Amino acid sequence: MGPDHKHHRVARVALWSGAAVAGGLTLTGGLLVATYSRWRAWCLSWGATEDEVARALPGDDLLAETDMTATRGIWIDAPPQAIWPWLAQMGSGRGGVYTYDWIENIFGLRMHSVDVVLPQFQNVKVGDAQKLGKTGPTLRVAICEIGRTLVLRTDDGNWVWAFVLQPEERGTRLLSRNRIATPGVPQTTRIFNRHVMEPGSLIMERKMLLGIKERAERLARVGDGAFEPQSRG
């Protein structure tokens, strides 16, 4: 067998292997989409207890009817005052949202998640607004109770995003609730949102909550002076 023949054989094996992997991923993705109704409740309540999911939270009254409500949570080994700074500075062109920046920036959101508390973004107040990218919605602070509650709402009123800090005997529960309405959206878009965007939101928000947890716990241990500014991709 000559070297050229061996080369072509290796290339064919590589192509077959790649096709097999791609086919497997496609099949897996298809199965996840097809069975999404079975695990949707888990997707929309990752990290939250049944009581937390059922509980009324600040901001619920800002959007009566929704097409999707997600309540996710995480326990943080830190007091609220070590968590609040990371919430206060979240946003595009600010502290980022502590998730996969490279995915956010595919959509032009200018997210650069930092590991340092940024004093210039700590004075949050009702009415403060920021635009998500050049063509995205504008999020405006609707409720602000320092150290306790931060609720954001889009100017069209169709998205309400609430962060609630609940101190415990040891540590703090951080709850994130998204309430979204899609009036006038075609049925095909609703199906796409439900079966693709909802699972995608879990991937991004899980990373965000874990990112806040990591930063807050470190801040509680060593204090703000130990942080070095840096961005994460």
Range from 25-29, 84-88, 148-152, 169-173 carrying the lowest mean pLDDT? 25-29
For 190-221, letters b (16+ CB in 10 Å) and e give eeebbbeebbebbeebebbbebbbebbbebbe
Select, from the ranges 89-103, 187-201, 202-216, the one with the highest average predicted confidence (pLDDT).
202-216
* High-pLDDT (> 70) share of the chain, %: 81
User: Cα-Cα-Cα-Cα dihedral of 98, 100, 102, 108, to 10°?
Assistant: -60
Whole-angstrom distance, CA of residue 57 vs CA of residue 220: 26
Select, from the ranges 23-27, 183-187, 208-212, the one with the highest average predicted confidence (pLDDT).
208-212
pLDDT of residue 110: 81
Whole-angstrom distance, CA of residue 13 vs CA of residue 7: 10
Whole-angstrom distance, CA of residue 40 vs CA of residue 47: 14
SS3 170: coil
Beta bridge partners of 165: 174
Average pLDDT, the chain: 85
pTM over 0.85: no
**Which of 89, 71, 67, 60 is closest to 160 using CA atoms?**
60
pLDDT of residue 179: 98
CA distances from 219 to 78, 80, 81, 149, 157 (A): 8, 11, 10, 20, 34
Whole-angstrom distance, CA of residue 5 vs CA of residue 7: 5
CA distances from 67 to 45, 62, 183 (A): 15, 14, 9
Would you give the DSSP letter of residue 60?
G
Span 1-55, pLDDT tens digits:
555 554 445 444 444 444 443 444 344 445 555 678 798 999 999 999 999 999 9
Residue bearing tokens 């929309």 = 44
Whole-angstrom distance, CA of residue 199 vs CA of residue 48: 16
